[in-house]
């Protein structure tokens, strides 16, 4: 196996070596010690003056960053630019590695995983392996996809603003590939567009990417070689960069969800990468309901949900029941508080990321799903007749003489498809349905549940919610109908929409 290196690693710098910075990397405004014997010489005077200017420059840079958190470039010249050259830039290029627990609360990736890392000379080192993966989208549906490190989607990369990251990418696929670090500010030669910024990574090769994280926010990574094929087969993942200095209220639960869509024909075992319009498996973290894990939260916790969309074609309006939230991040960074929108639905465009935040103050099982209704179905196409209102009469009995067990379906909608328990072709799943606590949940695809509880026993599925007395919709009783003057047999009441 050959190894290509795209950049020579720089010598690391410790955070305490950066003049005018505090322990956590922020500006202090204090000039560093000039050093020497204590005798005031011309050399020491020049050194002191230079250090003072350096500390002042860092102070101004830090102030600009705080004043304009939505403009990452305000933090200084980008690595690789002419303004970034020189020995002082090399010494100030990155900070000590941010650590989970100390510098950030780790994210939760339902149904997913995170990419492990180690620190080598002050640099965080990761290793991504692109390879074929057999992936289960939901119980009963498996397909051969392309992913990273045995996962679809690839494991979430988690780091901290100011970290230096070195990411090795090994290609075990039968085709060349690259990795593009979507939305991340970095040197041009690290951007990962095959042919434009770098040679493609041939099968059997390992490339090295290395850059300093100069921003925070919700980002992604994906192949940028033969994108229609490789993204459609699953070469995607999330890249979360925590701020070195957190802003806003403290987050208790920080979830990461990557949205995607696939075409997997019934009975087949590989996504169809040439599909352009008719996707029939819609996923959250590469799982379709009922294969999606719930998001588990204690009542009163502040929750962030990060949503990325690397679907080939469709935008996804993600709707959360039970809460109003604020849209606090785009893939360009933190949204200023004055511009944060209160919403119940957030549109996540193709190739974009959004983060929402709210306080989970209401216990229950709350739906979280795409509001495009056909994105709540599994393996359904549109090339079938409209059966709504059809009265089959004696048709079923006649057809059963030729096809035992035949049943006309669809004349009252699609819900019965998930309730019949009828056999499905090998390696396929029912279009929708899971037995819930009260009835069949007639959902599939891009759907999951936020489970909020007053108490939790660790992070695990707490089961279905027990509704307190008087808080559950149920069949109306005769006494209640009589009390409120409701005649269920009378014509449905209606008033004109404008004055008479």
Q: What's the pLDDT tens digit per position in 99-144?
A: 999 999 999 999 999 999 999 999 999 999 999 999 999 998 999 9
For 212-226, 304-318, 368-382, which range has the lowest pLDDT when averaged over its residues?
368-382
Distances (CA, A) of 65 to 17, 70, 73, 249: 20, 8, 9, 19
- Write down the pLDDT at residue 413: 47
Confidence of residue 265 (pLDDT cuts 50, 70, 90): confident
271 within 8 A of 146, measured Cβ to Cβ: no
How far apart CA 106 and CA 37 sit, in angstroms, is 46
CATH annotation of 117-242: 2.60.40.420
How far apart CA 258 and CA 240 sit, in angstroms, is 12
Alpha-carbon dihedral 451, 368, 302, 245, rounded to 10 degrees: 130
- Write down the pLDDT at residue 91: 55
- C-alpha 140: how far from chain center: 25
How far apart CA 185 and CA 332 sit, in angstroms, is 10
Backbone angles phi, psi at 358, to 5 degrees: -165, 165
Across 147-167, average pLDDT: 98
Across 151-178, average pLDDT: 97
The number of beta carbons lying within 10 Å of the beta carbon of residue 236 is 26
The answer, yes or no, to whether the previous bond of 290 is cis (omega within 30 of 0) is yes
pLDDT at 176 exceeding the cut of 50: yes
- Beta-carbon contacts of residue 39 (< 8 Å; ≥ 6 apart): none
Residues 392-405: b if buried by 16+ CB within 10 A, e if exposed: eeeeeeeeeeeeee
**Pairing between β-strand 253-262 and β-strand 281-284 as defined by DSSP bridges:** antiparallel
108 within 8 A of 253, measured Cβ to Cβ: yes
Per-residue pLDDT reduced to its tens digit, 30-85: 333 333 333 333 334 334 334 333 333 333 333 333 333 333 333 555 666 655 54
372 within 8 A of 279, measured Cβ to Cβ: no
- Write down the pLDDT at residue 84: 53
Confidence of residue 407 (pLDDT cuts 50, 70, 90): low
Helix ranges (DSSP H) in 345-416: 395-400
- Write down the pLDDT at residue 420: 52
Q: Of 62, 70, 64, nearest to 338 (Cα)?
A: 70
How far apart CA 255 and CA 259 sit, in angstroms, is 13
Confidence of residue 426 (pLDDT cuts 50, 70, 90): confident
Confidence of residue 357 (pLDDT cuts 50, 70, 90): very high
pLDDT at 492 exceeding the cut of 80: yes
Across 269-282, average pLDDT: 86
- Write down the pLDDT at residue 53: 34
Query: What DSSP element (H or E) covers 389?
Result: none
Q: Of 84, 22, 82, 79, nearest to 55 (Cα)?
A: 22
How far apart CA 95 and CA 18 sit, in angstroms, is 8
- Per cent of the chain over pLDDT 90 is 59
- Beta-carbon contacts of residue 407 (< 8 Å; ≥ 6 apart): 396, 420, 422
Q: Of 37, 1, 33, 40, nearest to 17 (Cα)?
A: 33
Among 6-20, 56-70, 248-262, the range with the most confident prediction by mean pLDDT is 248-262
pLDDT at 375 exceeding the cut of 80: no
- Write down the pLDDT at residue 256: 98
Residue count of the chain, please give it.
500
- Write down the pLDDT at residue 283: 95
Q: On the CB side of 25, how many CA atoms lie within 13 Å of its CA?
A: 22
- Write down the pLDDT at residue 173: 97
pLDDT at 248 exceeding the cut of 90: no
- Write down the pLDDT at residue 196: 97
**Mean of pLDDT over the chain:** 80
Distances (CA, A) of 248 to 304, 334, 335, 385, 441: 12, 10, 11, 52, 37
- Write down the pLDDT at residue 47: 40
Position with higher pLDDT, 498 vs 136: 136
């Amino acid at each position: 196996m050959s190894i290509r290196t795209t950049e020579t690693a720089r010598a690391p710098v410790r955070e305490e070596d950066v003049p005018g910075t505090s322990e956590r990397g922020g500006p202090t405004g204090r000039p560093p010690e000039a050093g020497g014997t204590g005798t005031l010489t011309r050399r020491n005077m020049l050194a002191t003056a230079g250090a003072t200017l350096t500390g002042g420059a860092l102070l101004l840079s830090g102030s600009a960053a705080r004043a304009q958190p939505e403009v990452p470039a305000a933090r200084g010249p980008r690595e690789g630019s002419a303004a970034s050259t020189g020995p002082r830039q090399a010494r100030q290029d990155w900070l000590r590695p941010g650590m989970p627990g100390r510098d950030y609360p780790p994210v939760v990736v339902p149904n997913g995983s995170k990419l492990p890392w180690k620190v080598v000379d002050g640099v965080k080192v990761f290793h991504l392996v692109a390879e074929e993966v057999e992936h289960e989208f939901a119980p009963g549906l498996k397909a051969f996809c392309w992913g990273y490190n045995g996962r679809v989607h690839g494991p979430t990369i988690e780091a901290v603003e100011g970290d230096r990251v070195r990411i090795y990418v090994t290609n075990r696929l039968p085709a060349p590939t690259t990795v593009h670090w979507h939305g991340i500010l970095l040197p041009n030669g690290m951007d990962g567009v095959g042919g434009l910024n770098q040679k493609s990574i041939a099968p059997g090769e390992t490339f090295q990417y290395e850059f300093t994280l100069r921003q925070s926010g919700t980002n992604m990574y994906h192949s940028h070689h033969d994108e229609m094929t490789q993204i459609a087969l699953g070469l995607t993942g999330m890249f979360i960069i925590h701020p070195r200095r957190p802003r806003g209220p403290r987050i208790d639960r920080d979830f990461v969800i990557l949205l995607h869509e696939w075409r997997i024909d019934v009975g087949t075992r590989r996504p169809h990468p040439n599909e352009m319009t008719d996707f029939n498996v819609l996923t959250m973290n590469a799982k379709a309901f009922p294969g999606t894990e719930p998001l588990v939260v204690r009542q009163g916790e502040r929750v962030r949900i990060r949503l990325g969309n690397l679907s080939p074609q469709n935008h996804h309006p993600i709707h959360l029941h039970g809460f109003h939230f604020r849209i606090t991040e785009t893939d360009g960074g933190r949204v200023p508080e004055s511009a944060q929108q209160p919403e119940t639905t957030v549109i996540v465009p193709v190739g974009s990321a959004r983060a929402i935040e709210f306080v989970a103050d209401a216990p229950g099982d709350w739906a979280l799903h795409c509001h495009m209704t056909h994105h709540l179905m599994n393996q359904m196409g549109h090339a079938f007749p409209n059966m709504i209102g059809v009265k089959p009469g004696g048709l079923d009995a006649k057809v059963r003489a030729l096809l035992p067990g035949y049943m006309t379906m669809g004349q009252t909608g699609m819900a019965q498809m998930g309730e019949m328990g009828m056999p499905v072709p090998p390696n396929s799943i029912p279009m929708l349905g899971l037995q819930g606590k009260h009835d069949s949940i007639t959902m599939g695809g891009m759907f999951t549940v936020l489970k909020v509880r007053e108490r939790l026993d660790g992070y695990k599925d707490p089961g279905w919610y027990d509704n307190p007395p008087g808080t559950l919709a149920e069949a109306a009783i005769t006494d209640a109908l009589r009390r409120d003057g409701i005649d269920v047999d009378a014509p449905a009441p209606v008033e004109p929409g404008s004055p008479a």
